[in-house]
Amino acid sequence: MHNLSLTELSAQLADGTLSSAELTTHLLGRIAEHADLNAFITVDREISLMQARAADERRAAGTAGPLTGIPVAHKDIFATREFRSTAGSRMLENYRSPFDATVVEKLGLGPFGAGMVTIGKANCDEFAMGSSNENSYFGPVKNPWDRRAISGGTSGGSAAAVAAGLVPVATGTDTGGSIRQPASMCGVTGIKPTYGRVSRWGMIAFASSLDQGGVLARSAADCALVLSHMAGFDARDSTSVERVPEDFTRELSRPVDGLRIGLPKEYFGPGVSPDVARAVEEALKEYKKLGAKLVNLSLPRTDLSIPAYYVIAPAEASSNLSRFDGVRYGHRAAEYGDLLEMYEQTRAEGFGWEVKRRILVGTYVLSHGYYDAYYLQAQKIRRLIAEDFRAAFRQCDVIATPVSPTVAWDIGEKVDDPVANYLADVFTLSVSLAGLPGLSLPCGFGDKGRPIGLQLIGDYFAEARILGAAHQFQKGTDWHTRAPGGTGHA
Ligand code: GLN
């Protein structure tokens, strides 16, 4: 039953061939069997089964929706009342939130929720900083396709859990690629919506002007269904966009005949490894066969996305993470002299190396005398990057690129070189800086049989368009239905 799509699961729950309690029990068993993947930080059988029974009752009462009773894994960056919320950090190792994040609420079993069952909290890089899911205090997530490989970061637990058939859908967050990159590396589909679409309330903050919640599932159709329940205006998030609720499945059956797909030359250069280039080219041929028109164009400021992002994101992080002071949240050092020492000791113990590095860089670029030279410049570049996209979307409807220049690398391969990790983000950062929607869909396998993703970028609020284009591709191909060997998942 872990091979079924959301639509199939939903139909079986509706006609009574399957109960949520059965499905949840089955998936909890799979999670235990695949514990070596380290995809979850917290699982609580009792709580998940209690939720499943509540969902079954809702079905029996005739008040169920299409997602009622379907298990979901939440990236452990979303605050949950019933499970601890760690953000992958020692700082929040035992943190219990007094409330649910809006996303958790919207998908969950509350009076206005979709009725999904939380199967557990998915592993992630500490405070969502990283590109490989090796920065989690709870250890790296292994890639189900090849356990020597990283899962991608920072929603690596979410991607690995979906890929291994431990859960049909998982939430993620994407600040600079953290949904798209692990989706690509684990061979699943993942979408980061337009900035402001999904409420950030209760999403533990990394870089507030970039952070955006989204979803990972096996197919674009499944992502579209869940996103429709997850997105929407939230007065509690000041950057939430006020728009009428949308059905993101509405363009799934729209043909791509005549669709203009832009190919920015900066994403197809020598920096892309041959296996990735080949798979992406094959995917584009498929689109051509379906009647799409390929348009060559340029996004000239692509190269500047790495320096601009790695100034802006740490700057915002240094500010956001100042709240972890040992007083208000989470960890507090056991031994200290005065108040200042308490702060220092707590933060020294609670944060890992990458988080500390970002706090230092962020504080530096915001400091008097350097603000103009770094932060302000980065903000100007950000605007230029957004303008590049604006110009591009005058020539095309969607943009297609690789997600990552290479397939997943080996665990440990780049741990001593933070810049090597940063460079791997080159194809995902611009989309985040511009605030555009982007998705990753599986399009083949490369070096060592590791998955490859194709990125589809849409104009603002064009999620339905890119999900539709992805679905049309998935109708004619089977990359998204393949499952890693040894997971008992066909
Ligand atoms: N890899 C990027 C970083 O380390 C993006 C992370 C993210 O999207 N959360 O910041």
pLDDT tens for residues 310-352?
A: 999 999 999 999 999 999 989 999 999 999 999 999 999 999 9
CA of 177 to the centre of ligand 1 (A): 6
CA of 464 to the centre of ligand 1 (A): 24
Say if residue 143's pLDDT is above 60.
yes
Q: Answer yes or no: pTM beyond 0.75.
A: yes
Do 201 and 159 meet the contact criterion of CB atoms below 8 Å apart?
no
Domain residue extents for the chain: 1-490
Say if residue 485's pLDDT is above 90.
no
Q: Which of 382, 373, 398, 375 is nearest to 459 (CA)?
A: 398
The Cα 133–Cα 125 span in angstroms is 5
The Cα 350–Cα 346 span in angstroms is 6
Say if residue 490's pLDDT is above 60.
no
Kindly give the number of the ligand 1 atom that is closest to the alpha carbon of 424: 1
* Terminal CA-CA length for the chain: 11
Do 345 and 336 meet the contact criterion of CB atoms below 8 Å apart?
yes
Say if residue 296's pLDDT is above 70.
yes
Torsion angle (degrees, nearest 10) of CA 105, 111, 112, 118: 40
Q: What pLDDT does 487 receive?
A: 65
Q: What number is the average pLDDT over the span 264-287?
A: 97
Q: What pLDDT does 209 receive?
A: 97
Looking at domain 1-490, what is its CATH homologous superfamily? Answer: Amidase signature (AS) domain (3.90.1300.10)
Say if residue 357's pLDDT is above 80.
yes
Site to probe by mutation for ligand 1, drawn from 133, 173, 175 as the one with most ligand atoms within 8 Å of Cβ, is 175
pLDDT tens for residues 98-112?
A: 999 999 999 999 999
pLDDT tens for residues 374-405?
A: 999 999 999 999 999 999 999 999 999 999 99
Q: How far is CA 476 from CA 258, 270, 286, 290, 472, in A?
A: 17, 29, 8, 9, 7
Q: Is 86 in the pocket of ligand 1 (CB under 6 A)?
A: no
Q: What percent of the chain has pLDDT over 90?
A: 96
126 DSSP β-pair partners? none
Beta strands 189-192 and 212-217 are antiparallel
Q: Output the six-digit token pair for 307.
A: 């320096």
Q: Is 134 in the pocket of ligand 1 (CB under 6 A)?
A: no
Q: What pLDDT does 172 receive?
A: 98
440 DSSP β-pair partners? 190, 455
Q: What pLDDT does 189 receive?
A: 98
Q: What number is the average pLDDT over the span 433-443?
A: 98
Q: Is 203 in the pocket of ligand 1 (CB under 6 A)?
A: no
Q: Is the dihedral of CA 453, 459, 461, 465 positive or negative?
A: negative
Q: Is 130 in the pocket of ligand 1 (CB under 6 A)?
A: yes
Listed in sequence order, the residues at least 6 apart from 250 whose beta carbon sits closer than 8 Å to its beta carbon are 464, 468
Listed in sequence order, the residues at least 6 apart from 311 whose beta carbon sits closer than 8 Å to its beta carbon are 361, 365, 374, 375, 377, 378
Q: What number is the average pLDDT over the span 26-52?
A: 98
Q: What percent of the chain has pLDDT over 70?
A: 99
Q: What pLDDT does 297 receive?
A: 98
In single-letter form, the type of residue at position 206 comes to F
Q: Is 157 in the pocket of ligand 1 (CB under 6 A)?
A: no
Question: Could you give phi then psi for residue 293, rounded to 5 degrees?
Answer: -105, 130
Q: Is 175 in the pocket of ligand 1 (CB under 6 A)?
A: yes
Q: What pLDDT does 315 receive?
A: 97
Quick one: pLDDT band at residue 489, thresholds 50, 70, 90?
low
Torsion angle (degrees, nearest 10) of CA 220, 222, 228, 231: -80
Q: What number is the average pLDDT over the span 130-145?
A: 98
pLDDT tens for residues 189-235?
A: 999 999 999 999 999 999 999 999 999 999 999 999 999 999 999 99
Q: What is the mean pLDDT of the chain?
A: 97
Q: What pLDDT does 396 receive?
A: 98
Strand ordering across the sheet containing 212-217: 40-42, 117-122, 71-75, 169-174, 212-217, 189-192, 438-445, 451-458, 398-402, 260-264, 293-297
Kindly give the number of the ligand 1 atom that is closest to the alpha carbon of 310: 10
Nearest CA to ligand 1 atom 5: 176
Beta strands 40-42 and 117-122 are antiparallel
The Cα 459–Cα 95 span in angstroms is 38
Say if residue 39's pLDDT is above 90.
yes
Q: What number is the average pLDDT over the span 172-197?
A: 98
Q: What number is the average pLDDT over the span 355-378?
A: 95
Q: What pLDDT does 486 receive?
A: 64
Q: What number is the average pLDDT over the span 68-95?
A: 98
